[in-house]
Chain A
Amino acid sequence: MAQAWEVPGLTARARFREAAGRVILTRWAEMMSHREGTEAGDDIECLHAMRVSSRRLRAAMDAFAGAFPERSFRRHLRRVKEVADTLGAARDLDVAIAGLLREHAAAPAEERPGLEGLIARYRQERAGEGPRIRALFARMDEEGAEERFVEWVERHTGVAMRRLRPRSPEEER
């Protein structure tokens, strides 16, 4: 599983609001860092890493919901959930296909055609997920979703992304 990024400057003495900004902005940057690889679709691990990050971001938003106005929070949470769900649908199929391939290798001959039919069907469904993911990213770009999300977190927490400068574990080394 992709390693979670360290949250810069987070200490036990932080105010709840400030901690919210530091954690959520770090998780957002972490999630978006996997976008390019996910969009290219050549490596299923990029999609997996982005999905894991989107779940971490969602969990962070749940944890710090109390730092934001309820209405705008719900709107932004919906967007993050949409990303997590879209990536999740593709990832679930990747996992299902890999699992069935393992079972196929160990299955008696009479069970194999059924597993092959199922694998073929899931592969067909999986082929449809790539365009759905790309369409979601295109929609987010059109709406300026990234800028709006970051600006919303900054406004309510007083933490600025450009000063926080979260970095991946690879960059930390």
Chain B
Amino acid sequence: MLDVGRHPNIDLLAYSEVEKVEGEAGAFKVTVRKKARYVDASKCTGCGACSETCPTIVPDAYEEGLGSRKAIYPLFAQGIPSTRTIDPDYCRQLNGKKCGICAKTCQADAVDFEQKDQILELDVASIIVAAGYDVFDPSRIPEYRFQEIPNVVTAIQFERLLSASGPTGGHVDRPSDLAVEAEIEELEKKATKSAKTLARYEEKHGEDSKTFYGKFLSGEYDDEDHKKWAEKYEDHLTITESLETMKKKAEAFGSAKKLAFIQCVGSRDFRFYPFCSGYCCMHSIKEAIIANEHEPETRSTIFGMDIRAVGKGFEEYKIRGGNKSGITYVRGRVAEITEGPDHNPVVIYEDTRERKVKSEEFEMVVLATACAPSKSVVELSRIVGFELDDYQFVKTSPLSPVDSTVPGVFVCGCAESPMDVPESVAQASSAAERAAEIAFQEDVEKEKAVA
């Protein structure tokens, strides 16, 4: 990423969208909308002071909803370019309210609420589509109860939980526990506030709230001010009591150590995507191995029809995961997930080896979601004119694997079909080769014309 950002031959247009493509191989004219960031990229140093002072808190899509960000934000910490962006959906200033705190904070004077979208026209010889894929939304599978049972997460959410720079600092905390902890934080804020209120009364009347309340109950005071004080004190008691109960509960919280990974969530499923997403077996194995590295007591069960460990060193990795990282592989498709005690998901499945329907309780369930064709690829196909296959991946042929149906337009990565990192890297080089061939031929034609 950084290499791309720094390469002298690469002009990086982030936060931009292709609107129109005209012309043909060797001479395309591309119209690009560079969206307004409301931050001047030439001035912004990426220091992040604006994000610290911005008062608007927004759920962070990058953290898969497990964390939050501000209305002025970088997509993620090491993102390229580091230029901050103001989210026009949430920014108070851009929505007609009084704010502008970020502009006051910014020492580089980079915030520009008046910035407009820019339209750019590019002349290019060839086009490479690398628009990736979408993550399948598992709430479409009712029997897995994603979002109903808090401790059922997607693989990408689990990835954020494992990440040292993620919302939990790399601890596999259970979302149900995180919710309680968030509530504790909220209650603590309330408790501090109500304690302050009580302190004001105590100062005013020169006695502590508890003594006062005893006297109040015995009917010593009946004026409005003392009545209010009593009400506040009662509220405070309610808050602190529930805070104590929750804190007690939270003492028992720890990271999830009994994990289930469910393969083919949305893939190899006629209701959604009949194809195999290719990479999910390996990422489940990887996530289980990393979880075990973090907490050596972690035990994982991977439920799959076939475990497709087909790349270089993959089968060996799978076996090592079983022998050394506490992974059990169960051959079978999970039929249903229900909620057991303590928000523990219960997995109901058929063990085809033992020919039995079983159920087992886990502390967390991770769904290996399908590689869904990207909506933006569909949009691009309309703009650029290339054809899509039956599932809405870019159509290619097995013998020319990176050529789309439009000459001069090439494709690589999961926009073409599901694939893992090494394959995507290799395919990206292939697409670069094909694109360069077009540019080279164009140069030859021009030279001929001049001669």
A-B interaction: no
Chain B residues within 8 Å of A, Cβ to Cβ: none
Chain A residues within 8 Å of B, Cβ to Cβ: none
